[in-house]
A and B are shown apart, each in its own frame.
Chain A
Amino acid sequence: MDINRPIYLVLITGVVISGVIFASALVLHAIMPNMIEVVYTLALIGVAVLILTPYLRVVVALCAFFINREYKFAILSLAVLVMMVVSLIAGSVFHIAP
């Protein structure tokens, strides 16, 4: 399997979904300025999709390398994923948000 393909698909899906959400937030704000709560909610959802995408990208890479039997890279992907989760947990425990 060509690993470029699944990784590209994850990234582009994240881009399109969050892009559409951000664009609708902007348009909605322009045409209906009093629906500010909806605009903020859309922006929040857009950010959530956005920052979830790199996590998903690492998970997909891990699976793709595993299916490809490129175990060295599957292990490296797993290490990256572990570090991302560890940083996330440590960050929320120690309140690292400078």
Chain B
Amino acid sequence: MLEVTSQLTFLGLTFVAGFLGALMGIGGGIIIVPALTIIFGVPIKEAIAISIVTVVATSISGGSSYVEQRITNIRLAIFLETSTTIGAFIGAMLVLIVTGNYLYVVFALLAFYLAVSQILSVKREVKRTESNDFMNITQDRVSRYLNLRGDYFDAAINHKVEYLVKNSILGWIVSFFAGLGSGLLGVGGGVFKVSIMNIFMNVPLKVAVATSKFMIGVTAATSAVLYFVAGLLNLDYIAPAALGTMLGATAGTVLMNKIKVKWLKVFFFLLMCYIGYNMLGKGLLLTLSVRLPFT
């Protein structure tokens, strides 16, 4: 077992991961996995197993808080969960047959595309949030059939924002591939979900963050059970990691709605660039043996 001081350090570190994860609607594995392997010297497989458990922890703690604040769109979440779970399942099965190495490059390109879309849509989203303009679209047939819509109270600008969901089929298909990617590569569960909802489906960014946070627990729980049953969980780290991310996520959810959408978009741009670059680095290394700087 770890010493008490390193447990506390670890708790603090996972607190930060949980906090950022809640702010962005992501799991936080991109912070926890490198922290565990580099700072604590945990083998990569154990680090991934621990990070999956923390994803479940942050999803239910952050998710519960966003549900209470009525930002999460539960119906939209369940609609998209049907395709991400299928995608994740097929992805996990494909791992047994093919290697997903070239997929890193595909997802890197998607990440860059979404990064650029985020930064280009800042002005428009701010304007639409402030003038409550998310209703001014035509819904497709599926969105209308499922009556996918909602509203939330934006605490940064102090008024209610209503929205209609559009492009449900496209969103469903892209979520399928996001699930496939996370099943194959074990990365990018949350970050793609947020951008898909926000960029393609006319969902305000804060709702996308809350809904993604709510969704990621479902696929993560399934992987977590598998690690649990296989006895791959390192119990030395689990308690401080889970507790730290839970507390951090709760703190993050309190802050998120108070931040201006503009800044959230900028954070997303930076995050997507970072993820895109990392994935590109991994992909090029595994397929062409080319090493990018800083990867």
Interface size on A, residues (CB 8 A): 54
Q: Which of B1-38 contact A (CB under 8 A)?
A: 1, 4, 7, 11
Q: Flag if B229 contacts A54 (CB, 8 Å).
A: no
Q: Which of B235-254 contact A (CB under 8 A)?
A: 235, 238-240, 242-243, 246
Q: Is the CB of B93 closer than 8 A to any CB of chain A?
A: yes
Closest CB in chain A relative to B154 CB, distance in Å:
18
Q: Flag if A87 contacts B238 (CB, 8 Å).
A: no
Q: Is the CB of A67 closer than 8 A to any CB of chain B?
A: no
> Within the assembled complex, what's the spacing in Å between the Cα atoms of A40 and B237?
10
Q: Flag if A25 contacts B53 (CB, 8 Å).
A: no
Closest CB in chain A relative to B55 CB, distance in Å:
10
Q: Tell me the total A-B contact number using a CB cutoff of 8 A.
A: 162
List A contacts of B53 (CB < 8 A): 47, 50-51
Q: Is the CB of B267 closer than 8 A to any CB of chain A?
A: no
Known: A4-B67, A50-B53, A55-B221. A15 touches B246 (CB 8 A): yes
Q: Flag if B221 contacts A79 (CB, 8 Å).
A: no
Q: Which of A38-88 contact B (CB under 8 A)?
A: 39-40, 42-44, 46-48, 50-55, 57-58, 61, 72-73, 76-77, 79-80, 83-84, 86-88
Q: Flag if A54 contacts B239 (CB, 8 Å).
A: no
Q: Is the CB of B262 closer than 8 A to any CB of chain A?
A: no
Q: Flag if B238 contacts A97 (CB, 8 Å).
A: no
Closest CB in chain B relative to A8 CB, distance in Å:
5
Which of B84-92, B108-116, B189-197, B275-283 lies at the binding interface? Answer: B84-92
Q: Is the CB of A1 closer than 8 A to any CB of chain B?
A: no
Q: Flag if A51 contacts B240 (CB, 8 Å).
A: no
Closest CB in chain A relative to B78 CB, distance in Å:
5
> Within the assembled complex, what's the spacing in Å between the Cα atoms of A42 and B158?
43
- Interface SS of chain B: helix
> Within the assembled complex, what's the spacing in Å between the Cα atoms of A30 and B118?
45
From A46, A51, A61, B225 is in contact (CB under 8 Å) with A51
List B contacts of A72 (CB < 8 A): 145-146
Interface residues on B, range: 35 or more
Q: Flag if B218 contacts A95 (CB, 8 Å).
A: no
Q: Flag if A15 contacts B60 (CB, 8 Å).
A: yes
List B contacts of A54 (CB < 8 A): 56, 59-60, 217-218, 220-221
Q: Flag if B240 contacts A87 (CB, 8 Å).
A: no
Closest CB in chain B relative to A87 CB, distance in Å:
5
Closest CB in chain A relative to B206 CB, distance in Å:
16
Q: Is the CB of B75 closer than 8 A to any CB of chain A?
A: yes
Which A residues fall within an 8 A CB radius of B? Answer: 3-4, 7-8, 11-12, 14-15, 18-19, 22-23, 25-26, 29-30, 33, 36, 39-40, 42-44, 46-48, 50-55, 57-58, 61, 72-73, 76-77, 79-80, 83-84, 86-88, 90-92, 94-98
